[in-house]
Structure formats: structure tokens, C-alpha cells
Structure 1
Amino acid sequence: MFQSLYGRLAAVLMGVFVAVGGLTLLASERMLETERLLELASHLILGALAFSLLAALIVFRLLTRRLRALCVAIEAFRDGGFAAPLRLAVPVAAGDEIDRLARVCVEMSERIAGQLDAQARAEACRRELLANVSHDLRTPLASMQGYLETLLLKADSLAPEERHGYLQIATRHCERLGKLVGDLFELTRLEAREVRPNLEPFPIAELAQDVAQKFELQAGNAGLRLQTTIPPDVPAVPADVGMLERLLENLIENAMRHTPAGGVIGVAVAADGEAVELRVSDTGRGMAAEELAHVFDRYYRVDRGEAADAGHAGLGLAICRRIVELHGGSIRAESRPGAGTCFVVRLPVAAPRLSAG
């Protein structure tokens, strides 16, 4: 009862009432002994009023002290731009209404400060994203414009081979621009949760084999060897086939881009307890530990020295991470400088279907 503000106030008022009652009894005894009844009554009334006023001031002081401290803290929180949360000594468990109010204010200030900090980080990322997008869009556009203007100005003086070469270069820049716009559109939809995977059990081993075969010719032309390790007893996973195909394509393309000629690209699938583990590895230069922490960030590009990485936008791995998250799995990168890189994807195994009857 005395933990609430009402109980404490009632206890104080009860004490005041008992004190005033005691004074009244003492004064009543004196009234019987003297004949100055009117004088004593007036003294008693004035004393009771003075005592009640003093007690009320003390109670008011005790009750408003914490409210004043809370008010000062909230004003400081406001004047500081809502950046630093309130710092108040508030009881963790029990307390009266003022303690509970202070505790709620502290929690609200932490939430507000956290949201403002997250908003500031998101704004910084947005500005960086716009700057990177502008740069990556401007480069192929400027190249295409330059070659097309050259064709228009020197159409009569250029040899057919030169015109064909200019058109090929402009076409490559156009393809690069289209891929960048497509990646941006896909990543935006994935992060905005506009796309939901159509989950159905299917054998990921067969998909990995099919995607690897699709890249065999491209890998051979780049002087790379594509090696698959896919056992026949890998369980099915509940996933969207189109999304996982895009995941595998991005990982294999990333591995090929960072592997010099003569290297090996590995694609392996294996069961691991209640999950299926997919590994895509390369024999490139690898990455340092500080680079691994940001490898899945949008527009983060590790400088690994490969010429094939020039102009790469750095969105493929961010798309991979979002696809894996939508499937309830996990993705990580393992790498050391000089030892290549391996991306490991873990997906939950599909629940066995109950047979009818």
C-alpha cells in the first residue's frame, strides 16, 4: 500500500491528523482547568492551521522533488536535440507512480534516441547510395554517348570494322547499364519486402548442378575451371526456385570476377543436420578480416586488384543476403588474404510430407 503515491500521501495525512488530534486533547485538558476557553480555542485553531500548512509544504516538497528532477532531465533531453537518452536513478522493480513515470520516460527517450540515430545512419547511407548510383550510371552513359557521337560525326570516314567495334563497345556499356538498373530495382523491392518467396520443397542439388553447367562455357573462356561437389542424397529445401537460382548466379559470377585465369571455382552442396549447406568458393586473392565485415553491404566493393572488377556496382552480394534472409537462412563469407574466398549459405531442410491414410 505504501509503495504507491496515494498510500504515501494517505500515511502523511494520517500522521498530521493524529498530531492535530493529540494537540486538541492536550488543549482540552487545559480548557477544563482554566476559564480562558475562548483564548485557548483561538490559539488551538491558529496552531493547527500553522502545523497543517507546514506539514503540507513538507509533503509537497517531498512529492515534487522527483517531478522537478524529471522535468529538468526531459528539458535537457529536448535541448540536446533528443540525441542522448535520459539518465535518471530509477528503481528497477517496485516504485510509486512517479517512479513508474520516470521509468517510462527513460525508456521512451532511449527509443527516440535510437530511432534518431538509425535515421541519421539511414540518411548517410542514402546519400552514399545516391552518390554511388550517380557515378555508376554516369560512367556507361558517358561512354555510350561518346562512341555514338563519334559514329554520327565520322560515319562516312570510319571503316566498317571501326563502326562495328564502336557499336560493340556501346552495346557492352548498355548491357552494363541495364544490369545495374535491374539490380537496383531488385534490391529495392527485396528490401521494401514487396517480394515474397513462393516456398515449395525442391532439390537444391539439382539446381546447383544446372546453374554450374550454365557457367561452364563462360568459365572456360576465362581460363577457369568450374568444379562441383554435389552428393546424391542432399535433402530438399523449402525455397523459391527463381530466387535461389539468382542467388547461385550472383555467387558464381562474383567468384569468377575475383579469380584470375588458371583458378578454380567450387560449388558444393551438403546436408548438415537440420540444414543444407551451399558453398561457392574461389582461388582468388581473398580478403582481410575488416573487409569481410562489410562484404554484404550495398555498394561495398573490395579492392582485390582484378581488372574484371572495374565498374562493378557491388549490389550482387547485398541481393544474395536479402534472398537468404527471406528464406530464413544465413549467409557468411570465409576468407584470408592469399587463400581465396568461400561464401557459405545455410538453408533449413524441408519438413517431410505426411503420407495420406
Structure 2
Amino acid sequence: MESENQMDTREFLLLGLSHDPQLQLVLFGLFLSMYLVTVLGNLLIILTVRSDPHLHTPVYFFLCNPSFTDISFISTTVPKMLMNIQRQSKTISYAGCLTQVCFVLCFAGIENFLLAAMSYDGYVAICHWLSYSVIMNPHLCVLIILLSLSIHIVDALLHNLMVLRLSFCTDLEIPYFFCELDQVIKLSCSATLINNILFYLVSGILGGVPLLGIIYSYIKIVSSVLRMSSAGGRHKAFSTCVSHISVVSLFYGMCFGVYISSAVTDSSTNSAAASVIYTVVPPLLNLFIYSLRNRDMKEALRNLIIKLLFCGLYHLLCAWTSSKSQCAGTLGKPQFLYYGD
């Protein structure tokens, strides 16, 4: 009888945020705007850091990686949602669903790991500032990124392999607008005890260890800052950590809030809204937190935008005066773009 109830799984249904057709156009415009702002804004941060030699430091190296991770994370979920709205469809293929599960796990884990790495960078900068350049050397920074990437790729592939052993029956409806591992496991009509144990065990380790590292780093930072005799030094030290503390609070606060709300309510509407909170909102807010709370970043962004506008206006002037050959010779290597050289 069990084999008769099972079916060859071809696709899942992503219920999304609303069943009202009149709201679909509003949701499409809203999420498209949020997606474009997040992607273009984070690309601008990456370009700014790479183009300004004054920002070629470990802290901005780690800042570029969360920006890239945010772009990748939101690109894993939102484009499929926009495509479904445009096609007036809620389906996603079995392979597409597992691909989303894999990338969501991978990029969310990397984001968590990078937050811990940035807190360690702040700890070394404040508590061991005389040895900062020795401890936070380029090799260590690259090693941290590669280690994080390797761990979470293996983790995502392991979970996907465990899902492949499951059988799925009818009612393959996911209350989110993307495929999330916990929701996919709940749809299985097979025994899921091993999947659940693995999910919560690995999530506890890979989520808890970085969180403990962040807490330990800030305990050391606070104790070190409080021992400073200069009020100006204490203010400067705390101000350097404000952006990171804001992002950490946003990331963990929303993750905990989502899972607590999912545990206490079975409403699909609330679940869909919660999924938006921790997949779309953080990458968007991180962009403004990192760019608006950092004086060096704001100055570098301003300089880059001015230079890009100047470059664009100069090319327009060349085209307008029909002296392209002379302008091409002049702009063969636009020296004004190499800030700080």
C-alpha cells in the first residue's frame, strides 16, 4: 500500500506570500526593486573596496565576502519567485528544489562563518593591535574563506544526499517562496528521523560554534575597551564595532525569530512572511549598515561615484564632439580611476 501512495516526484508547489492575483503585480515590483538594490548596492561595495588601496585591509576583505554572499543568497531564491509570479505558476522542479536547498544552506552557513571571522578581526584589532598585521595576514584571511567554503559545501551536499533517499507522496506544498530543507523534510512520507537528527545536530554545531566565537570576541573587546583610560579611545573602539554588532543582531535575531514563530504557529501566511524576513531583508539592510555606518566606506563610495560619473561624462563629451579617435587615445588607460596609485 505504501508504494501505491508514493509518486514519482516531479515538482513542488511554492505557496509564496499571497494567493490574491491582484497582489501579484505589487509583490513583483516590490521584490524586483529589493533584489536590484541589493545586488547593485553590494556590487558597488565590492567595486569600491577593490578600487581603493586604502581599503585593502583584512576588515574590508571580510566585508567584500559577505557582500558577495548576500548577492548569491538572494539570487538563489528571489529570481525564481519573480519568474513564478510572471508565469502565474507556483511550481518548482524536484532538481530545482534540491538546488535551492543546497545553495541556501551553503550561503547562509558562509554568512554565519564570516560574521565570526569579522568579530575575530575586531578582537585582534582592539586587544592585540600591536600584532594585528602579523596575526591577520593575507594567508590567514584567504584560509578562513576557503575553510568556510569547504565546510559548508560539504554540509549542503550531505543534506542533499540525505534528502535523495526520501520518498515523497502527495500534497507537496511548501509554505515559503523557496525550498527550505526543514520544510522539504516535513513533506516526506518516509522515515525522517535520521534527516532531522542530522539537520539539528549540524545546524547546532555550524551555527553555535561561530555564535560562541562572536560572543567570546565581544566579551574580550568590551573588557579591553573598559580598561582604556581615554574616553575618546573607548568611543573610537566601540564605534568600529557598531556596524558588525548591528549585522550580527539582525542575522541571529531574525533567524531565531523565524524558527520560534514557525514552532508556535502553523499558518502558511506567517511562515511565508517569516521566510522573507531572513532571506531578503538582511542582505538589503546589511548593505545600508555597512555603507552608512562606516566613514571610510562612505568617503570611498563618494570618490568612486564621482570618478565614474566623470568618466561617463567625458566619454559622452567625446562622442558628442565626434572626436572618438582622439578620446580613445586619451582614455586608453584612465589614470583617474586608479585612486591612490
Q: Fold conserved (TM > 0.5)?
A: no
Q: Which has the higher contact order (CA 8 A, sep 6+)?
A: 2
Largest Rg, 1 or 2? 1
Q: If each structure's strand is expressed as a fraction of its own residues, which one has the higher value?
A: 1
Task: Give the TM-score, by structure 1 length.
Answer: 0.27
State the TM-score, normalizing by the size of structure 2.
0.28
As a proportion of its length, which structure holds more helix? 2
